[in-house]
Amino acid sequence: MNSDYRIALIRELRDQQVRFAPRPKRIEQANRAERLLCEIDEGREYPFDFLFYRITDVRSEVRHHGLIKGADAVHDLRLFVEDISDSTNIRVDEVGEPIHTVEELSKLFNVSTKTISRWRDRGLVSRRFLSEGRKRVGFLHSSVERFVAKNRKRISRGEKFSQMTDDERADIIEAARKWAAQGMSLSAVARRVGRDMGRSTEAVRYTLKNFDKQNQAMAVFPDQRPTLSNDDQRAIYQQHRRGVNLVTLAKRYGRTRGSIVRILNEQRAAKIFELPLDFMHNDDFNKASLADEILGPMPAPVTPPRKLRAPSGLPAYLASLYDVGLLSREQEYHLFRKMNYLKFLAHKKRDALDAKAPLVSLMDEIELLAEKAGEVKNQIVQANLRLVVSIAKRHVAANEDFFALISDGNISLIKAAEKFDYSRGNKFSTYATWAIMKNFARSIPEEYRHRDRFRTTGEEVFAGHQDNRANNFAEELDQQTRQTQINRILHKLDQREQEIIIRRFGLGQSVEPSTLKEVGEVMGVTKERIRQIEARALDKLRLAAVAEHIDAPE
C-alpha cells in the first residue's frame, strides 16, 4: 500500500491540522474528508481551493491555481483521513458503530489481505484507533458499506454488506434470543448467529446493540451490569498487579477484556499523575546537545578518596555506611543535575499524557524516568548517611533512642535531597546539616515535654497511694479493643499499603518487622518507592486514628 502523498498541498494541510486544530475539529475534518472522497470522480480534475473548503469549511486566504487529478485526490484524501484519525487517539469504545480489522474484511469477502490493501489505495477509507492501549488500523462499518456500494463490480461478495431487510433483522433478533436464553454472551451469540446466517460477526453485533438501544423494554441483552465505582476500578488495578489475568477480571466484573484494559490503563495513569516529579530547573535542560553529558556516567574524582575502615564493634548498620564513599563537589553537582533532569523529562512527558486515553508506551517512559531519578537520589542519600549519624551523636541524650534519632534524620536528609538547589554552588552537606538540625530542634524538645509528664521524685514514689491499676481481665479487654481499632483503621488503606505497613511494623502473626529494602524485594519495587508509599499510608492512618478517637502521640 502506497503511504506517500501525491499532492504536496494536501500533505501540508495534514501537517497544519495535526499541529494546530483541536481534537473535535480534527475528528470533524476526517469525517468531511471521507464524505468528499466518496463524491470525487477519478476521471475529473478539481481545484485545491474546492478540496480545502470541503475539508475545513473555511475559505483559503491564499488562492491556489492549477487542478488536481481526481485519482490523486482520492489517494491523498484517504491518507488524510487515516493520519488525522491517528492524531486524535480515538478509542474503539468511543465510536458509535462496529469497526472491522483487515483480517475480518479478508475473511468476509474471501480475499487476501493484499487485496484489502489494494482496495485502500482505491478509496477504502481506514482509520487508526486505540485498542487495548495500542494503535490499530480499522474500518468503520459505514466506510466499508460506502466503498462496497461504489465498487460492486470490483467486489463480487459485496452483497453481504448491503443494508439488511426488516425480515433479515427480525431473523437475527429471534435467533439471538434463543442463544442468549441459554446464557451465551453477546460476543458468542454474534459469532454463532453470524456463522448460521452468513453475516459478519460485527454486523450481527451492531444489529443487536442497535435493537437493544431502541427497544430497551424488549432488549435481547439488557444491560444489568452496575456501573463500576472508583473503588471497583482501583480493586481491578490492584488485583491485576498481584497477577490476576484479564480473562478472570473480565468474568469477575462482567466486563469485556477491552474494558478491563482501559480501566487498567486509566488507573495506571492516575498513579503516574501522583508521582512526585517536582524538580529544580536548570537552563541546561532545554539544550538538547547537553542531554548525553547530563545523563552520562558520574565523573571520577580529581583526588581519589581515602578508603575508611569501620571501627571495630560497630552495629551492622553503622559499619555498612563506611562501604559508601563520599562524593566530590563535581560528582555531587553531576548527580543532582541528573536527578532533576530525569524528573524534568518525566514531568514533560506526563504533561502530554491523556488521563482518559493514556498511551502505554508513554506511561512506560514516564515510569522508567521516575525510577531512574529515584535511583540517583538514593545514590546521593546513601553517600550522606554518615552525616546524619555524626549530627545525631551530638544531639543524643541519656536514655535516648539513638537509632530512632538517626531514622528521623534520614527522613530529613531525603527531603533535603529533593529540595536542594544545586545550581547555587553550595555543598549539599551544608544544606542537609541545617535541615537535619532544624528537625532535631523541633522534635527533641517535644519528646522531653512528654517525658516530663512522668518524672517524679523518690518521695512521691513512696507516698503510699492506693493501687488503682486494672486487673488482668480489664487489661486483656483493652488490648482486644486496641487490636480491633487497629484492624479497622488498617482497612482504610488499599491492599498494597496494608501489606507494606504490616511488613514494616510486624503487625501480622509471626511477622517480624522488615527493612525498606526487604519489603521492596518482596513487592518488586525500589525501597525508595516503599518509603513513599509508607509515608502516604501513615498519613492516612493518622487521619483514621483521629476519626476513630484513638489516642496517639501528637
pLDDT single digits (tens) 466-496: 444 444 444 455 555 666 677 777 777 888 8
Reported confidence tier of residue 224, pLDDT bands at 50, 70, 90: low
- Say what the pLDDT of residue 444 is: 58
Per-residue pLDDT, averaged over 313-336, amounts to: 84
- DSSP 3-state helix, strand, coil percentages of the chain (rounded to 5)? 65, 5, 30
Reported confidence tier of residue 44, pLDDT bands at 50, 70, 90: very high
- What percent of the chain lies above the pLDDT cut of 70? 85
pTM of the complete model: 0.47
- Average pLDDT of the chain, as a whole number: 81
| Cα–Cα distance for residue pair 299/419, rounded to 1 Å | 23
**Are 389 and 437 in contact, with CB atoms under 8 Å apart?**
no
Reported confidence tier of residue 181, pLDDT bands at 50, 70, 90: confident
Helix (H) or strand (E) holding 134: strand 134-140
Alpha-carbon separation of residue 397 from 393, 433, 438, 439 (angstroms)? 9, 19, 17, 16
Helix (H) or strand (E) holding 100: strand 99-100
Reported confidence tier of residue 508, pLDDT bands at 50, 70, 90: low
**Are 490 and 503 in contact, with CB atoms under 8 Å apart?**
no
> Which among 8-12, 62-66, 501-505 has the top mean pLDDT?
8-12
- Say what the pLDDT of residue 465 is: 40
Cα three-residue angle 123-129-135, rounded to 5 degrees: 110
Q: Is the per-residue pLDDT at 101 higher than 80?
A: yes
Helix (H) or strand (E) holding 97: none
Q: Is the per-residue pLDDT at 32 higher than 70?
A: yes
Alpha-carbon separation of residue 495 from 106, 299, 491, 502 (angstroms)? 46, 42, 8, 11
Q: Is the per-residue pLDDT at 273 higher than 90?
A: yes
Per-residue pLDDT, averaged over 245-261, amounts to: 83
**Are 180 and 220 in contact, with CB atoms under 8 Å apart?**
yes
Q: Nine-digit cell at 194? A: 453470524
Q: Is the per-residue pLDDT at 401 higher than 80?
A: no
Q: Is the per-residue pLDDT at 162 higher than 70?
A: no
pLDDT in tens, 362-393: 999 999 999 999 999 999 999 999 888 888 88
| Cα–Cα distance for residue pair 521/372, rounded to 1 Å | 17
Q: Nine-digit cell at 68? A: 488536481
- Say what the pLDDT of residue 156 is: 59
